[in-house]
Amino acid sequence: MVALVIAEHDNGSLKGSTHHTVTAAAQCGGDVHVLVAGSTCGAAAEAAAQIAGVSKVLVADAPYFADGLAENVAEQILAVAGSYSHILAPATAYGKNILPRVAAKLDVAQISEITKVDSPDTFERPIYAGNAIATVQSSDSVKVITVRGTGFDAAAATGGSAAVETIGAAADFGKSTFVGRELAKSDRPELTAAKIIVSGGRGMGSGDNFKLLEPLADKLGAAMGASRAAVDAGYVPNDWQVGQTGKIVAPSLYIAVGISGAIQHLAGMKDSKTIVAINKDPEAPIFSVADYGLVGDLFEVIPQLVQELG
């Protein structure tokens, strides 16, 4: 058996999601290869070759791979798919856009957002907003899988010495073109990669009140997040949303402020190593998953906490 990991990258460097996916691929048994499809992407390929556990890196370099268009990357995967028992990609917007196309063309069932590998053909994945774990077994000859990064440790970025092989680029699919991209700019850590996250919910009351959390985040070097209720109310931008329909995170420390703890939010953060909840309602569901809970008025508690941090 040989597993193929589809690298998520920006041509110059790998995204952290790739390292988590390599760990999942290694647990499937057999060798692990990584496909880097990009444009002038030699640096990303070299980074992939250094990941511990990777035995080969395939590089498909062409101008039309520059922006990671799903149609083109899927065609490249299909060109090499016959050599692999497992094809895995991160369960990010990138992987979720590509692998369903691959699964459809291969006429196999995709296995989505796995959090554990039980055996080469059996996997675990969350269902019902994370309230249950389904064990699924695939009899398909090729397993097409997206990997929830929070379920797997990241493979070491160094220590590997994989061979790098340049392969022929699949033809430009020609049905889509890259128009543009708007990137949110922030001095804070990226939400899905942050080790500490401070999140606010509907209890913040307004967008202006979210500024109360900024000194706390600054003290801790944290990213800032929010519940869907806060996002839907227009308090903060969509890219702050943590939850089933937002971003799935698992930082070392997650501080939930004024968040009641709807199951959709819990699904996005309950794998955090340590959860601290601050809410004035002692019956709030967030306390059921919190390691530490503080019942109190956030408008009094947060300034006191910032002061204690110095």
Structure confidence at residue 9 (pLDDT): 96
* Helix ranges, the chain (H): 16-27, 42-49, 70-80, 93-106, 214-220, 228-232, 263-269, 298-309
Asked if 101 contacts 176 with a C-beta cutoff of 8 angstroms, the reply is no
pLDDT at site 130:
80
Q: What is the CATH number of the domain that holds 127?
A: 3.40.50.620
- The count of structural domains within the chain is 2
Residue 216: CATH number of its domain? 3.40.50.1220
Q: DSSP label at 305?
A: H
**What are the mean pLDDT values of the chain's consecutive 10-residue runs (310 residues total)?**
96 95 96 97 97 97 95 97 97 96 97 96 91 94 95 93 95 90 79 94 96 95 96 95 92 96 92 96 95 96 92
Same domain, 75 and 35: yes
The string of pLDDT tens digits covering residues 9-40 is 999 999 999 999 999 999 999 999 999 999 99
- The per-residue pLDDT for 310 is 78
pTM of structure: 0.85
Give the integer Cα–Cα distance in Å for 119 and 107: 22
CA distances in angstroms from 124 to 58, 94, 130, 229, 301, listed in the order given: 28, 21, 11, 29, 39
Q: Given 120, 151, 166, which residue is the final one in a domain?
A: 166
Q: What is the DSSP string of 34-80?
A: EEEEESS-HHHHHHHHTSTT--EEEEEE-GGGTT--HHHHHHHHHHH
Determine, yes or no, domain membership for 176.
no
The answer to whether 273 touches 251, Cβ cutoff 8 Å, is yes
Same domain, 116 and 227: no
282-296: pLDDT as tens digits? 999 999 999 999 999
Same domain, 154 and 201: no
Tell me the residue range of the domain where 153 lies: 2-166
- Based on the domain organization, do 33 and 128 belong to the same domain? yes
